[in-house]
Amino acid sequence: MSNEQFLTLEESSLVDAALLTSREKFTTRVAIYSLRSLKQISQAQGVAIDEITPQQVLSWIEQDEQVQREQALNAEFKQFFTQLVLSSLKPLQQMSENLDIPIAALTPRQTIAWFEQQSEGKRQKTDQTPS
């Protein structure tokens, strides 16, 4: 993976092919990148993913070259990026519970499939709602 990319080409292609709305595809991309980031933070800090604190995310951001390049463009990027990564924890925890595996074991394919399943559930619910 190039240092300039947040997702691999394969991951991007899988998300593009998913049966999701544009907004859902964006959320899926964020979750996949956040999962990768959380795994790196977890390893670096020696803590479980669901125990990572905002300060640990900030410390990681300060050391990550790719994130530093992005931050140079926007002074508020650190806080934004921290919130973005931490906000992905909720759906990642739901996926983990649904699949009965640790968050760290989740794969991009499982993440995409989970978002597709959630989207299909929403569509079915909407289709069943009387007009």
The one-letter code for the residue type at 60 is W
User: What does the DSSP assignment read for 66-105?
Assistant: HHHHHHHH-TTHHHHHHHHHHHTHHHHHHHHHHHTS-GGG
Asked, for residue 125, whether it belongs to a domain, the answer is no
Domain that holds residue 93: 9-102+110-117
Q: Choose between 1 and 123: higher pLDDT.
A: 123
Asked, for residue 41, whether it belongs to a domain, the answer is yes
* pLDDT surpassing 90 at residue 117: yes
Asked, for residue 1, whether it belongs to a domain, the answer is no
Mean pLDDT of 101-129: 90
Angle value at C-alpha 48, between 121 and 2, nearest 5 degrees: 75
Confidence of residue 79 (pLDDT cuts 50, 70, 90): confident
Asked, for residue 93, whether it belongs to a domain, the answer is yes
Asked, for residue 90, whether it belongs to a domain, the answer is yes
Asked, for residue 2, whether it belongs to a domain, the answer is no
Mean pLDDT of 55-66: 80
* pLDDT surpassing 60 at residue 73: no
Look at residue 35 in the predicted model and tell me its pLDDT.
Answer: 94
Query: Mean of the per-residue pLDDT values for the chain?
Result: 86
Percent share of the chain, pLDDT over 90: 56
What is the number of domains present in the chain? 1
- By the 8 A CB rule, do 8 and 1 touch? yes
Asked, for residue 37, whether it belongs to a domain, the answer is yes
Look at residue 102 in the predicted model and tell me its pLDDT.
Answer: 94
* pLDDT surpassing 70 at residue 61: yes
Asked, for residue 42, whether it belongs to a domain, the answer is yes
Look at residue 70 in the predicted model and tell me its pLDDT.
Answer: 62
